[in-house]
Structures are given as C-alpha cells and as structure tokens.
C-alpha cells in the first residue's frame, strides 16, 4: 500500500511539473521575415514564431495557404502579397496572434484583405474556441447586442441577410476573435456580412458585459528610462561609410549590435513599426550603443501602390510606436523596396534616404561573395544597404567591418554622414 501511495505522489508531481513547465516556460518569440522583389512582384511576410510547435505550425500553415492562393489567382500577373501581424500575451497565459493578409494581382478587380486569429492557452496547450470562453446562454444573450453594434458601425455596407444568418447563437460563426484585459473582439472577413469594400470588420465587447469563463487581470507596464551613450569623435579628414539595415529588428539584430559595439562602429537601422513592440529591448539597446533608427513603414506594404493617406498612416504609425517604446523620433524614411516618387516625398516630412551600395545580402547566399561585392563598390561617403533579418548578414557585418577598417574607413550614422557632407562643401 505504501508503495502505491509513493507511486501516486510521484505521478501527481509529474503532472504538476509538466503543467508548470507548459504555463511558466518563457515564450522565445521572434519574428520571421521574408521580403522579396522579383519580376514586378513584391512580397513582404512577417509573422511571430513562438517556439511552441503546435501554434507555430498552425501559423506557418495559414501563411503558406495564403501565399499559395496569391500565386494561383493570377499566374504571371502577380503584384503584391503582404502578411502583417499583431502579437500579445494576456495574464502570461493566453498567447494572441492576429495575421492579416493582403493579396493584390493584376487579374483581381479589387485587392483582397483577410484575417486569421489564434488564441493559445499555454496551460492547456491548445487553441481556444469561443465555447472555451463563454457558455451557449451567454452567446445567445450577446447576439442582439452584436447585431446592433454591427448595424451602427457598418451601416453603409452591411448586408442584412448575411448579418442575420452569420451573427446568431452558433459558436461556429465566431472562429475569429481575440481578447485583452478590457475587451473581447470579434472579426469577420470581407463579404461575410458586408460588401467587399468594407474589408475586414470587427466588433468589441467590454468584459463587464460578459460573464466569462476566463478571468482577466490587467497588465501593469513598468516605464523604463535610459540615457544615450557618448560617441567617439569623427575625424573629418578620413573616409567614412554609413552601414544601414532594413526590415528589422529580428532575432539577429542583437548579434549585429554586439559586433558593432566591439568594433566601435555604428549604423542606421530602418525598422518596421509592426516589430517594434516585440523587439523593444533591442531597439533601445541600438540607441544606447550610439546607433540611429529610421522609419521603414509599418508593415512593408509597397508605398508606390498606396494612396497619400495610406502612406502617411504607414509612416505615422511607425513614428508613434517607436516613440512610445523608446522616446526616440526618427528623422529619416526609407521607402519600401527602395522606390520613391513625388507622391511619397510629399506625403511625409521625413527626409528620404536610399542607398548607393547594395550588398544583395537578401539574395546572395555566400558570405564571402557578399563582402567582396560590397567592397568592390564602396567609396568615401557611401551608404551601404544590408538586412538584419538573415543569419548570414551577421557574418557579413563581422567581415565587412574588418575589411573596411583595413582601408581606414570610419563608421557613421546617416545623420552624421549628412553633417559631414555639409562640412566638406
């Protein structure tokens, strides 16, 4: 009997231990990035990778399916495919991921916007459905409230027949939802209950209106203050070069920052706004080390295809999120895919900066080839384009800095380069 008791306690301990590990182990989240420009087709894909295999497989599958649709819809007439994301954790337990997909082909009358949501419970190791959050009775009570909110918010494009059939007491109709500490949000894709021009629609319900199965506690964010580090003096008589990085931050950016600091070098990082919160510590460290941040749009949509208002939103949203997490305000913009025109220039007060030496690190695979190509083209005052979203770029930076130092180059930010050019005029 004693032996069975000990065995029982041992098994209970294993169960408790596994539950604790699933719930409390840190989520090593990073953002997967793939940006391509080939034969007139522009592809920008960003989504979170959590390290939880079950969740990551679902996210990767959703992205893959959307890309397959994009390529199949109008072969030979592809224009732009964009995957954006939002990511947050509630109560250190519920991982929330929202993927938004934008597909635009020559063969389509209108671009297509779609959404996919994931609510993952770390303690149960499962994707939640709405029935995990509320009872059938609670949903039934919410239906008229939801219908009324939809009519009020989307009165210009609501399809009443679809509204009555979709917004009902059936849990299957509410597969797209997320929540935070204040509200529960429902999403619907275009054409489900509205005309297509409404795009993705959403309705939020405060938690106090729902007697939910899930208990929400409000997150407390601690303000972090920091001070910029001092830079060494630049010798105006020597050659200079500006290293710049696009499309980050990423899981490789910290390694690049370490190399820059070890080599007493600096760079300008043109960041995407949708990554700032996930890598807020990284970009703070970049500034602390004397580097510079630039604006590279919010989610890498092709700016030349956007209206003036949409360009302004891409730029302003990025400015705001950078300032919110760092207190820093960028003064330079690098348009997506390196394309600039009069519409883009007049849509922002930021100074537009491109490059004159392209490392092609996004395309070439061999580190030595990338470094040699860059060194062949470099000159005093050059701006070098790289991307801190590839593992190989870490080694490129290490080797490139050494070779540039051998040729007596100094490393400056884009704003420092601009000041030096004024001094030498």
Give the rounded distance of the alpha carbon of 200 from its chain centre.
19
Give me the catalytic one of 296, 300, 387, 390. Answer: 387
Tell me how far apart the alpha carbons of residues 174 and 414 are, in angstroms, rounded to a whole number: 48
296 labelled catalytic? no
161 labelled catalytic? no
Q: What is the DSSP letter of 197?
A: G
Contacts of 382 (CB under 8 A, 6+ apart): 241, 242, 356, 357
Is the Cα dihedral 230, 231, 235, 236 positive or negative? negative
Tell me how far apart the alpha carbons of residues 127 and 54 are, in angstroms, rounded to a whole number: 9
Tell me how far apart the alpha carbons of residues 100 and 316 are, in angstroms, rounded to a whole number: 19
Q: Are 368 and 376 in contact (CB under 8 A)?
A: no
CA distances 303 to 37, 47, 296, 306, 336, Å, are 14, 20, 10, 5, 6
Q: Are 134 and 174 in contact (CB under 8 A)?
A: no
Two structure tokens written together for 123? 């303690």
Give me the catalytic one of 246, 247, 361, 388. Answer: 246
| Total Cβ atoms within 10 A of residue 226 | 11
CA distances 325 to 223, 239, 277, 311, Å, are 9, 34, 7, 22
Identify which of 103, 33, 32 has the alpha carbon closest to the alpha carbon of residue 74. 103
34: left (phi over 0), alpha (psi -120 to 50) or beta: beta
Residues serving a catalytic function are: 246, 387
């Amino acid at each position: 009997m004693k032996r069975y008791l000990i065995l029982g306690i041992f098994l209970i301990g294993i169960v408790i231990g596994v539950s604790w590990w699933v719930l409390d182990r840190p989520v090593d989240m990073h953002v997967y990035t793939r940006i391509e420009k080939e034969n007139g087709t522009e592809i920008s894909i960003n989504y979170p990778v959590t390290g939880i295999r079950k969740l990551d497989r679902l996210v990767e599958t959703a992205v893959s399916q959307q890309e397959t649709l994009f390529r199949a819809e109008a072969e030979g007439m592809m224009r732009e495919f964009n995957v954006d994301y939002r990511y947050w954790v509630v109560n250190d337990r519920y991982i929330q991921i929202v993927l938004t997909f934008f597909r635009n082909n020559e063969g389509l009358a209108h671009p297509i916007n779609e959404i996919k949501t994931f609510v993952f419970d770390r303690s149960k190791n499962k994707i939640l459905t709405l029935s995990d959050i509320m009872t059938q009775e609670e949903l039934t009570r919410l239906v008229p409230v939801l219908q009324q909110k939809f009519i009020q918010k989307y009165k210009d494009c609501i399809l009443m027949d679809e509204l009555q059939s979709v917004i009902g007491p059936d849990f299957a109709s509410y597969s797209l939802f997320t929540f935070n500490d204040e509200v529960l949000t429902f999403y619907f894709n275009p054409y489900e209950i509205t005309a297509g021009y409404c795009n993705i629609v959403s309705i939020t319900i405060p938690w106090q209106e729902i007697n939910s199965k899930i208990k929400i506690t409000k997150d407390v964010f601690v303000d972090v203050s920091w001070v910029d580090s001092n830079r060494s003096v630049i010798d105006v008589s020597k050659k200079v070069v500006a290293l710049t990085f696009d499309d980050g931050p990423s899981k490789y950016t910290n390694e690049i920052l370490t190399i820059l600091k070890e080599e007493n070098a600096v760079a300008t990082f043109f960041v995407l706004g949708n990554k700032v919160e996930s890598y807020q510590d990284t970009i703070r460290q970049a500034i602390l080390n004397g580097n510079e941040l630039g604006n590279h749009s919010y989610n890498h949509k092709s700016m030349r295809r956007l209206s003036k208002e949409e360009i302004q939103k891409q730029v302003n949203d990025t400015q705001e999120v950078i300032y919110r997490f760092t207190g820093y305000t960028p003064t330079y913009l690098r348009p997506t895919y390196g394309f600039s025109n009069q519409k883009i220039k007049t849509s922002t007060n930021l100074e537009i900066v491109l490059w004159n030496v392209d490392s092609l690190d996004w395309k070439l695979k061999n580190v030595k080839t990338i470094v040699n190509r860059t060194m062949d083209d470099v000159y005093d005052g050059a701006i070098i384009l790289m991307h801190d979203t590839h593992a190989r770029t870490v080694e490129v930076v290490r080797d490139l800095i050494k070779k540039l130092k051998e040729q007596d180059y100094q490393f400056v930010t884009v704003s420092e380069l601009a000041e030096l050019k004024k001094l030498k005029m």
